[in-house]
Chain A
Amino acid sequence: MQRYILSRLIQSVFILFGVLFIVFFMLQMTGDPVSLLISRHSSPEEVEAMREELGFNRPVPAQFASFIGNALTGDFGKSLRHKQPAMDLILDRLPATVELATTALLISLILGIPLGLISGSNPGSFWDVLSRGTGLLGQTIPNFWLALILILVFSVHLGWFPTFGRSTWTFLGMTLPTRSVILPAFSLALFTMGQLVRFTRSAVMEIRSEDFVRTAYSKGIADRKVYFRHILRNAAIPLISIVGVQFGYLLSGSIYIETIFSWPGLGNLLAESIGNRDFALVQAIAFFSSFVVVTLNLLTDIAYAVADPRIRY
């Protein structure tokens, strides 16, 4: 077990170095960053001075080495537009994204897993058709389109939710979400919900046909007990990995939803910085999102290995 965790840890570190390599060279592809900073009237001497000050006049390998060195201490340079450390801007926006992603995950778990369970236990039934339809629609309805429809129906016509923005309230020193999170979270949740329905359904169907389930039934154990003890407990194991992967997707994939709802999170920051051609910030966001995803994948794999004693690599 320890060996498995250690090897996955090393692998994740390698992946993160690969990510640093990729984002560094992607920024190099954007051309001379100084040309974005100067005004048209700057003299060549001023340009050269700025290049020197920012370290862009050094050879690329040297720049890469100092980039890695800074990255290891959490320094991703300054946003060219905001003149603030990129990491500060990211951490500033993180709570909104975490709130959105967590709510979306909760919505998809609460709706997706029961649907998948009912569907997998009664293949061919009305509920099965319904949840398979949900799974398919979750995969094919673009979340940015669903967001527009939800705004139209629930904000504009029914007036139940605000059309955009994030509001919070404070209780005992904690910042808590308000109903402003419901529509963005629901739009974001649809895809994950569809995935959860599909995976839960197939996990339940697979386990239902296992020998140990037949044995449990033939021993005369009550149906309910077989269902909860033998089927659900085993079906929960593969769900760990899908939930981990999906949470990473929710944390990094909310650019459309945050843009549409003007949700002040990371996705919105990414869209803004792309609009401003503030590529230093884009680079930092890309690395930060990758870091979150890689860490979540690692934790998921460890949780999986702990939960399922059969997994030993």
Chain B
Amino acid sequence: MTTSANTQTPPPDNASGIQRGTGVTVDQTQETGFWAFIKLVARLLARDKAGIVGLVMFLIVVISAVFAPVLAPHDPLKQNLRFAKDPPAWMDGGHADHPLGTDNLGRDILSRIIHGSRVSLTVGFFGVLIASSLGIIIGMVSGYVGGTTDNVIMGGVNLVLALPYLVFVVFIAAILGSSLINVILIFGFTDIPIFVRITRGEVIKMRASGFVESAKSIGASDTRIIFRHILPNLIGPIVTIATFEMSAMIFYEAGLGFLGLSVPPSVPSWGNMLAAGRQYLVIYPWIATIPGLAIIFTGLGMNLLGDWLRDVLDPRMRRVKK
């Protein structure tokens, strides 16, 4: 999607004729190695405003999750019925003490949002970690071994991908019961096929390309080919997909929480907050709407970051011209 903007010429009916390329022009003739790569990434990032915005948004969520106890002005679990249902500070009757107001039990919403980011990021991070590591292994076996093994694996992958995802996730969550570990395992395991498919596709592409063949012809072992040649080239597409999948998991975790199927109600999570605030929607709308904004903020940041990573980590997207 992003490349076509660069390669085409505007047809005559395009009066405005603005062609803002989303790919970035980079001279990558010399300099290799890790630091050069970091410098290159930094330079590419500096040119893409949407990427920077996405990165900053994502970092804000990460920082609030890591330093939640320090950053949160109040204890997220402390109830105070005297200050219950206080509106956010900018509304009539709001207090600066509770910038985003309080919920039905008088708990500080800002503190709960900050602590809620921990649940979301934990689910997203460990879910993707499980799905990607197992997915890469299975996908490499499938793509590298081929034959019947490949057919069996891909049969399973296609089966899982043909299922209505939400219905099955809800089904499994209801069976297993609500706990953080269960949610992580559900997303971790149901998301494996996505990573299998992408890994297999890349491996098959690489096997057909010259460099794997050359490595083989000079006598490199399978292990060496996998670890030296195939794995490093997988990092780009996997990291990109991982970003989008992590954002999707955060989204689905909130959805499960909304149905009361994610972490127990006592844990402050964005989905739980939304679910609890729903019945007060008409009179105290901030209780349910503010956690939704946190979900959107995170999702937007990760999607912008993912779009940018897709451009940067795929070397074919970097236009080599001076």
Residues of chain A at the chain B interface (Cβ within 8 Å): 11, 14-15, 18-19, 22, 26, 29-30, 121-125, 136-137, 139-142, 144-145, 148-149, 151-152, 156, 198, 201-202, 205-206, 208-209, 213-214, 217, 223, 226-227, 248-249, 252-253, 255-256, 259-260, 270-271, 274, 277, 279, 282-283, 285-286, 289-290, 292-294, 297
Contact = CB atoms under 8 A, between A and B. Distances in A.
- Classify the secondary structure of B's interface with A: helix
Interface residues of B, number: 49
Interface stretch (B58-66, B211-219, B254-262): B254-262
Nearest to B174: A274
Contacts of A260: 278
Contact of B4 (A30, A142, A205, A214): A205
Given A290-B164, A297-B162, A125 B18 contact: yes
A137 B14 CA distance: 27
Given A139-B303, A256-B255, 6 more contacts: A124-B16, A205-B1, A208-B8, A253-B164, A274-B170, A283-B171
Contacts of A149: 289, 292
Interface of B: 1, 4-5, 7-9, 11-14, 16, 18-20, 155, 158-159, 162-164, 166-168, 170-172, 174-175, 247, 251, 254-255, 258-259, 261, 274, 278, 281-282, 285, 288-289, 292, 295-296, 299-300, 303-304
Given A140-B303, A206-B4, A293-B164, A148 B174 contact: no
B159 A142 contact: no
Contacts of B1: 198, 201-202, 205
B259 A151 contact: no
B12 A223 contact: yes
A123 B19 contact: yes
Contacts of B159: 15, 18-19, 22
Leading 4 A-B pairs by shortest Cβ distance:
A209-B8, A145-B292, A252-B164, A124-B18
A15 B18 contact: no
Contact of B282 (A124, A152, A252): A152
Contact of A140 (B13, B19, B163, B300): B300
Nearest to B248: A139
A209 B7 CA distance: 8
10 contacts: A18-B155, A19-B162, A19-B163, A121-B14, A139-B299, A148-B288, A198-B1, A252-B167, A253-B167, A255-B259
Contacts of A26: 171-172, 175
A151 B281 contact: yes
Nearest to B275: A144
Contacts of A285: 167
Contacts of B167: 252-253, 255, 270, 285-286, 289-290
A294 B163 CA distance: 8
A297 B164 CA distance: 12
A259 B259 contact: yes
A251 to B, nearest CB: 8
A217 B18 contact: no
A124 B119 CA distance: 38
A209 B4 contact: yes
